[in-house]
Structure formats: C-alpha cells, structure tokens
Structure 1
C-alpha cells in the first residue's frame, strides 16, 4: 500500500548535515525525554462525549509529528537521509484476556473526525487479536505510539539493539495522575540524535501541550 513518498534531503543546503553525520557515523546514539503533559482541558472537554481520549491524544501526536521533517526522517535505499511526506501512527491495542497487545496502525488524517472513526474501528476490530501484527498492510512510514495506562512514570527508555537505522520517533504514554489540582500524563519521546536534537523534541512536546490545552478540535466528532 502506497501511503507516502520518501524524498531525499538536499545535503548541500541542509543546516543539520554536520550534526546528522556526527550522530549517525561518529557517535551514533538515541536519547529519550519524558515530560508531564497537562491533559486537564482535554479530559474536561471530552467528559460525557463519545470521543475516546486515547485516540484524541494519538491524533494530536500525529498532527505535531507531521508538522516537522525531523520526525518524518528515514534512510533511503542508499543509506542517505530522506524525509517522508507523511507518516502514520502505529499504536497498541491490549487484549486483557490474553494479557498481550497487538501493534496496529491507521492513516494520518488532517481532520480529527475522520481519524477518530477510522482509529476507533481499528481498535474495535483488533482488541481480541492473537497475533502481534494482525494487519498485513502496515507501511514503512509509521511512527510508534505505545501506552502504559496502568502506571505513571517519570522516565522511560527503550534499549534497542542494532537500531541505528531507525530514525522515526517512538513515543510512550503513561497513566494520568493528579498534580497540583491538574491532570497530567507522562509522554516519553525517544528519537535518534541524528534526526533530532533536544530543541526539536522540546518543540514537539510544547506544541503537543498547546494542542491539548485548546481541545475544541476534539468536539467536532458527530455521533
């Protein structure tokens, strides 16, 4: 399934060319940053509605990720840096009976109502899946969103063996908790340092916070 185009980066004009080479070849490394994101307004807005807050958060993440090329990066067949014109969220669905999860995906959509309905259908279809990847059409341009709704955390890091070619971000969400009369959710972003620096990751979480603090977009779903 063709769900995006991988376009080469013009290295002659790319401001991060030297940084990419340094963290790709000389000091290959990933890093993770965990931030508490305030979801008070989002939860309040969605209370009593049919909108699933988990899907709303995934859409918000997908929207922010797709704004910035550093979070849509991959290597082309020659190993050169390139950028997907769009990336789609891959996320987890938990099978409580088996205590296992399935990794699924749904296309990124600019409008939230379409995304919400399509993602909700995917969740419903695969909540009893017995295989890790039940969909046969997962495209290469997906970024991962995992959820750990049973516990909050202040730090989360994946130890990925031989994962130096993976440039797309991996995002992990934790359980809501109360803090100073607000509701916050831990969001961990793990990314290859060749693709993004601390500035870029901080911008991602700050823009996510801004989007969740003004959740009028989430009330456009008609049921």
Structure 2
C-alpha cells in the first residue's frame, strides 16, 4: 500500500486544511439512507454475505474519493493508494477483536480476504487495536440492531484523521430495502462534496449484480 506526499504549494485545499486543522472539534458526520434492495433481493439469495457485501461497498466508496484516503501527520499530508478496512468481530466468549481486511475492486477477491481476516479476528483473545499499524486504514462498525438517524464516534483527539463508517439495520419500506450509513471525517481533509461522492459510490456498489 503505497503513499504519496501531497504538495501543499499546489494542493487546492491547503488553506482549508490549515484552517480546520486548528479546530478543537474538527470532525463532523453525515448520515444518509441508502437503497439496499438489490443486495437483499438478489445478492443475498445468491448466498452472498450481506455484511461482507456492505464492507466491500464501503471500501469501493472510500477508494473512489482520494480525500478519504488522505491523512496528515503534523503539517505533512499523504494520500494512500489503498487502505485496510477495520471492523470489530465478536469473539465466541464475548467481547470483540478488530479485523483488518484488504480492499480489492473485485468482490470475489475481496470476499476471500475478508473471510480469512474475519476468521482470524474471531479466534484472537486480544483487542488488536491499531496502535502500530499506521494510518492506512479506515474504521467501521455494523449496528444491525438499530435503524439510526444519526451517529457520532468516540475520537481520541483532534488530530485523528482516520474516517469512521457505520451502517445500521436494513429495513423494509414498501417494496424497497433501506439502511442508514454514517461517515465521520476530519474537516481539514474532507468537505461535503467529497461526502456526496462517497455515498454515490457506495450506492453504485450496492446496486451491483
């Protein structure tokens, strides 16, 4: 997973980056309702895991928007070619461990890696929190118990610029299926336009055959 330093002298968002980077509370979240009809009526009937299909759609959305793969370290901004998708996996005895799933454009390739990473996390006895893996990662959570309308995440400090994604219960509405999804970002790197592009790309992936 290569990374590239962003040239602040030519980056169009340098002024915004420096402005929002100094905020005490620079994170913001947006929650939208996505259409999961194709996922629930077609792909699920084909034996495809709804959870892993959502995870892949999220990865598709993140990698469709370069700003969501940007991170800053002090005054240095980098862009990752690929990021790991990290989500909690319940352990048999209770609690959970974090999994780290590599992203592939191909769902078949992604699914193989996801199955392995999730199985490994389920057998761990430690949390495996990201204390040394670096910032080429995005955090996500599935909340299948709730059809939420908004969501906020626990953040360690104002310098944490790793995106957080959460998605909720998939519910039937007339002849469609809907689910809530939240994306929380650092405003020094991500604007509303980038949010919109992310959700459009996720919806595109959810609509895939």
TM-score, normalised by the number of residues in structure 2: 0.90
2:135 aligned counterpart, secondary structure: coil
SS where residue 54 of structure 1 aligns? helix
In the aligned structure 2, how far is the partner of 1:190 from the partner of 1:139? 19
- Distance between the aligned counterparts of 1:188 and 1:35, measured in 2? 7
Map of 2:113 onto structure 1: 118
Displacement of 1:161 in angstroms is 3.6
Q: Does 1:60 align with 2:57?
A: yes
Is residue 2:19 matched to residue 1:49? no
Cα distance change on mapping 1:154 and 1:28 into 2, 3 Å: closer
Is residue 2:95 matched to residue 1:80?
no
Superposed CA RMSD in Å reads 2.2
How far did residue 105 of structure 1 move?
Answer: 0.7
Output the TM-score relative to the length of structure 1: 0.85
Matches within 5 A, 1:55-204: 55-76=52-73, 79-95=75-91, 97-98=93-94, 100-133=95-128, 138=133, 140-162=135-157, 164-204=158-198
Structure 1 alignment gaps of length 5 or more: 217-223
CA distances 1:33-62 after superposition (whole Å, capped 9, x unpaired): 011111011111123323211111111111
Is residue 71–residue 169 contact of structure 1 (8 Å, CA) maintained in 2?
yes
For the Cα contact (< 8 Å) 1:105–1:138, is it kept in 2? no
How many residues are matched? 209
